[in-house]
A and B are shown apart, each in its own frame.
Chain A
Amino acid sequence: MIRVETVTKYYGPLKAVEEVSFEVGRDQIVGFVGPNGAGKSTVLKMLATYLLPTSGRLSVDGFDAVKRPLEVRRRIGYLPGDTPLYQDMRADRFLAFIGKAHGLSGAGLSRRLEAAIEACRLEETLSKRIKECSTGFRKRIGLAASLIHDPEVLLLDEPTHGLDPLQVLAFRELLRKLRPGRAILLSSHVISEVAAVSDGVLIIHNGRLLADGKLAELCQREGLPGSDLEGLFVHLVRKGTGQNMDGNHGSHEGR
């Protein structure tokens, strides 16, 4: 459902992403891991059609993100890293605004609002202005906004940042429930977080994809049997390889 093909992105003279390629299929949660500034958010911004790639191709559900951005936006639920929200709006009105922008109205909108509010446990903050909500609630409002239109693809940038441990557990549970029928790509610089929920991992460093696949398989290939994601990540970064683990680009499709 998500396909990224040899994508490069420059910010002026600075190369933020270099020839990144991967795929995420239906019913999959793939974690995007890398240190701050590695290029994770840039890739997600390009998939969300907010930024244009310098070269390469990105598509969602067969629609090219550059040529058919509206079709892509209809299919994605996007939670940007800083969780930007209209601070002066009430939470319920904000969610209704996002729902309407996605073509929901009447009973359909009410039904989806209820579902998103229940999934993100937002009942007690609905009538509050967003600026009056805590960081955790703001993150959950952003998450509810990304789910409001029942998207086939979820792009979540640092979704657990600002959540307390109980909220993190609830978020993991929610992701597992959302997995059927969807492709979910979530980025985090917290490696343990990604390891807890993902079927596969993408490891990115300095804009280059170092690894793409299932954790166990990647560890096996790197000669680190039994290692965790953190160990693999440190190994790959130290190794400083410019190639991903398959030699070209890997795929999660059908695994």
Chain B
Amino acid sequence: MDPMKGVDAASGRRKVSPIQGVRIIFQRETSAYFDSSIATIYAAVFLVLSSSIFMNSFFLNAAVEMDEYFRTLPFLLVLFIPAITMRSWSEERSQGTIELILTLPVRPFQIILGKYLAALLFYLAVLAGSLPIAFMLLWLGRPDLKLIASSYLGAAFLGSFFLALGIFLSGLTREQIVAFVLATFACALFVLSGQEQVVEVLDGLTRGWQLGTWLYESVSVLPHYQSFCRGVIALGDLAYFMLLSACFLILNAVTLRIHKY
């Protein structure tokens, strides 16, 4: 006897395709982000802060460019991205809804991808909130639009990597604040290891090992992100961000599996 017989016919149910599964989770998570007053506050604070820093340098330098905005962006993302991702799995664990979502007929990776894409959409929407700066520059003079577009692409890839990292770390704890601290620390490591002063200090502390240089060359996001900000879109930089993002999403799936034991 075919055990599948009669399952779909009785109630109008259909098997959920992989894309449908991702979309269903994505829709729920997206509405959770955009309905959340806390997320709106984070977004507003991020936009006000990033725009204020830019406007300050804009008035001092009087240059029709967004370089300063994109220079400070990684440091702001170190705090902003963990604020977006901290609830991703931690809230599911603390409220017990992880039991609900993991017993739906949707694969864990579809759930992870749905959550990731929703967080990415929210981040890109907030990032798009800085576009008025570009329009202002366009009104005032002739900014290098290709450079601005390339920098936005870099900011999108940088954010997408930090989101994957933050969602993975959120899966390790049921406490949102712990998830936030872990993700902030991890993102800071990836950013600060690209700072010249940090590299010099670490190299000085580990003479012979050149730890600072090694971190800069192998770990830091800044060299890859700064390529975009110079207008260079290199395959290696794209691969760096995509592979690291994929790596942390896969690690997230592994932690969900371990959770079942």
**A positions within 8 Å CB-CB of B:** 45, 48-52, 61-63, 70-71, 73-76, 78, 80, 82, 84-89, 93, 97-98, 100-105, 107-109, 111-112, 145, 149-150, 152
Contacts and interface: CB of A to CB of B under 8 A. Distances in A.
A84 B97 contact: yes
B3 A82 contact: no
Contacts of A70: 105, 107
In the A-B complex, the 7 residue pairs with the closest CB atoms: A108-B12, A84-B96, A150-B11, A62-B3, A73-B105, A103-B14, A103-B13
Nearest to A84: B96
Nearest to B95: A84
Nearest to B8: A103
A99 to B, nearest CB: 9
Contacts of B7: 74-75, 152
A74 B10 CA distance: 13
B24 A86 contact: no
B255 to A, nearest CB: 14
B3 A101 contact: no
B13 to A, nearest CB: 4
A225 to B, nearest CB: 40
Given A101-B24, A103-B15, A50 B10 contact: no
Contacts of B8: 103
12 contacts: A48-B103, A71-B3, A73-B103, A73-B104, A74-B105, A84-B96, A85-B100, A86-B32, A88-B32, A93-B31, A107-B12, A150-B13
Given A71-B4, A86-B28, 10 more contacts: A61-B3, A73-B104, A76-B103, A84-B100, A87-B95, A97-B27, A98-B104, A101-B21, A104-B13, A111-B12
Interface string B169-186: 000000000000000000
Contact of B28 (A62, A71, A84, A97): A97
B261 interface: yes
Contact of A149 (B11, B21, B25, B96): B11
Contact of B105 (A51, A52, A103, A109): A103
B233 interface: no
Given A104-B12, A105-B14, A50 B99 contact: yes
B102 interface: yes
Contacts of B97: 84-86
**Interface bin, chain B:** 20 to 34
Interface in B190-224: none
B11 A104 contact: yes
A219 to B, nearest CB: 35
Contacts of B4: 71
A63 to B, nearest CB: 6
Contacts of B12: 104, 107-109, 111-112
A98 B107 CA distance: 14
A82 B102 contact: no
B105 A80 contact: no
A178 to B, nearest CB: 13
A52 B13 contact: no
B189 interface: no
Contacts of B49: none
B13 A149 contact: yes
A92 to B, nearest CB: 13
B184 to A, nearest CB: 24
B36 interface: yes
Contacts of A150: 10-11, 13
